[in-house]
A = this chain, B = another copy of it.
Amino acid sequence: MAADTRTRLLEGAFSTLRTQGIAGASARSIAAAAGVNQALVFYHFGSVDELLAESVRHAARRRVETYRDRLGAVSSLRELLDLGRALHAEERAEGNLAVLAQMLAGAQADPQLAPATTAGLHLWVAEIESALGRILASIKPARALDTGGLARAIAATFIGLELYGGVDAQGATRAVTALEQLTSALATAPADPAT
């Protein structure tokens, strides 16, 4: 707690994005969340956009390192699905999904936000892709699949589900459950014929 001002601003930006959304992420509200003066946003980061961009980079860097080990240890499709579910829950709880979704929404109209957002998302994509590629290579009918494309589709689906969950939590839960049933069925039925 009470870290240096720069860090407080980075974390204030994160929590403001999470709770107020991209439309409420102003220098003033971020500074308030960080407990520092509003002018310091511009002193340390030059502009609000730069602070937001730096904030997602900051958050993404710390998280993904934690995943690398866990994803690397996975050796079956079933394990991958279980880990995926666990990571999804953790990311949701940390607010990383909500923040990324808000940045993504903001980046549609504000090109300055796009690079950092893409980078933050790509950290996940790369991790998912590497684990996916390793597992699917051992499943014959899955060899033809584009793991990079699938990894991107999975990341996009998480974003969509996060936003949907914000307006209809029950519906989103149903969607997740249905996807789990589907993937689970695929993992057991036509997947076993390996090599």
Q: Which A residues lie at the B interface, using CB under 8 A? A: 19-24, 98, 101-102, 104-110, 114, 117-118, 121, 125, 141, 144-146, 148-150, 152-153, 155-161, 163-164, 166-168, 171-172, 174-179, 181-182, 185-186, 189-190
Contacts and interface: CB of A to CB of B under 8 A. Distances in A.
Given A101-B105, A114-B167, 20 more contacts: A19-B109, A21-B110, A24-B109, A105-B163, A108-B166, A108-B167, A141-B185, A144-B185, A146-B174, A146-B178, A148-B178, A149-B174, A149-B175, A150-B175, A152-B174, A153-B175, A156-B160, A156-B175, A160-B160, A160-B161
Given A153-B178, A161-B156, A175-B152, A109 B23 contact: yes
B105 A21 contact: yes
Contact of A152 (B109, B152, B166, B172): B172
Report copies per complex: 2
A94 B171 CA distance: 26
A152 B22 CA distance: 24
Contacts of A163: 101, 104-105, 108, 156, 159-160
Contacts of A23: 22-23, 106, 109-110
Contacts of A148: 174, 178
Nearest to A22: B23
Which 4 A-B pairs have CB atoms at the shortest separation, nearest pair first?
Answer: A149-B178, A160-B160, A105-B105, A21-B109
A158 B176 CA distance: 15
A167 B110 contact: no
Nearest to A117: B167
Of A105, A172, A186, chain B has the most CB atoms within 10 Å of the CB of A105
